A = this chain, B = another copy of it.
Amino acid sequence: MDYVEEIKQLGEQILFKSKLEIPDDIENIVIAGMGGSGIAGRIFKEIYNKKPVITVDNYDIPEFVNNRTLFIAISYSGNTEETITALRKARIKGAIIKAITSGGKLGKEVDDSIIIPKGLQPRSAIGYLTVPLLRGAGFKGGDFEEAAKYVKKIDEKTNEYEEIAEDIWKGRKTPVIFGTPPFSELAYRWKTQFNENSKIISYWSYFPELNHNDTMALENDYRKEQFYFFVLNSKFADKKIQDRIRITSDLCKVNFKMIEGEGDSIISQLFTLIHKGDYISYYVARKRDIDPRDVSIIEKLKKELEKSDINK
């Protein structure tokens, strides 16, 4: 199966029916996950605001975790070392434990797991990984149906994304992605897709925070022409943010390639913004004649880490 077939599954994944229930009487939520699995927690954290949400992308958990904490472990493979270590620590502290995984150790160790289909790259399972959290947050079926419709429409006509990829590849550009609230973390998702699919360095930040630092670089950087600047925009970014985008572009004399979310709901804007980045990063890999699916370096790294553990 060509990797683009994995990407095209997103529309179906969005209709995934599982819901991760969030108990009323908890005080906080801690979500552990790394890389392609971790992004689900990052997205949820920015959209769900009823309880404090802390994301963990390390071996450790915060001291405050206790029996009033909902601890959600997310690992597509179910075997991510950092996430499993964090989970075991949370269990000792008495947290309420849930998981989203395709199996592995996580599937065995957590009774209250949402099990998702195997066989994908974790980053291509973003629908399965994210939808149960979003349903838990209270988003309803109609929103997911709208999102699926717009995502499938993107699949039908991708030449626009291929052209952007061609510009990036021809100029050997480094993509810089700027997010806008409430989707700031999608800039991070794009960055990781360029890393993993295209195997190129990429950088992210978001409005309005970037106006306090990146702006100076955008005005004066000595290699400005070598970066390709994206802004991920949505109809949920308010007028002040729209002003900031326009004024930053004018003052710094930088062209932003505007990427717009589609549809009326948060869910539709969210997944359409994700999907466009999937295609652009995929096509950069194809232009470079690199396998977008291949992440064998991570497996090599894991083996070397295990060797190092045994020797000490």
Contact = CB atoms under 8 A, between A and B. Distances in A.
Given A213-B196, A217-B195, A244 B64 contact: no
A200 B181 contact: no
A290 B298 CA distance: 41
Copies of this chain per assembly = 2
A35 interface: yes
A52 B52 contact: yes
Contact of A213 (B35, B54, B220, B223): B35
Interface stretch (A105-113, A156-164, A300-308): A300-308
B240 A214 contact: no
A195 B219 CA distance: 10
Interface stretch (A5-13, A14-22, A140-148, A201-209): A201-209
Contacts of A191: 213
Nearest to A45: B54
A82 to B, nearest CB: 6
A24 to B, nearest CB: 13
Nearest to A308: B243
A201 B222 CA distance: 9
Nearest to A180: B58
Contact of A34 (B34, B212, B214): B212
Interface stretch (A96-104, A126-134, A246-254, A259-267): A246-254
Interface in A174-229: 174, 176, 181, 191-192, 194-196, 198-203, 208-209, 211-224, 226-227
Given A64-B51, A216-B297, A222 B209 contact: no
A217 B201 contact: yes
Interface string A25-38: 00110000011101
Given A247-B304, A251-B301, 12 more contacts: A36-B212, A52-B54, A195-B214, A195-B215, A201-B214, A201-B218, A201-B224, A212-B298, A215-B298, A222-B288, A251-B304, A252-B297
Interface of A: 27-28, 34-36, 38, 49-54, 57-60, 62-64, 82, 172, 174, 176, 181, 191-192, 194-196, 198-203, 208-209, 211-224, 226-227, 238-240, 243-244, 247-248, 250-252, 288, 290, 295, 297-298, 300-301, 304-305, 308-309, 312
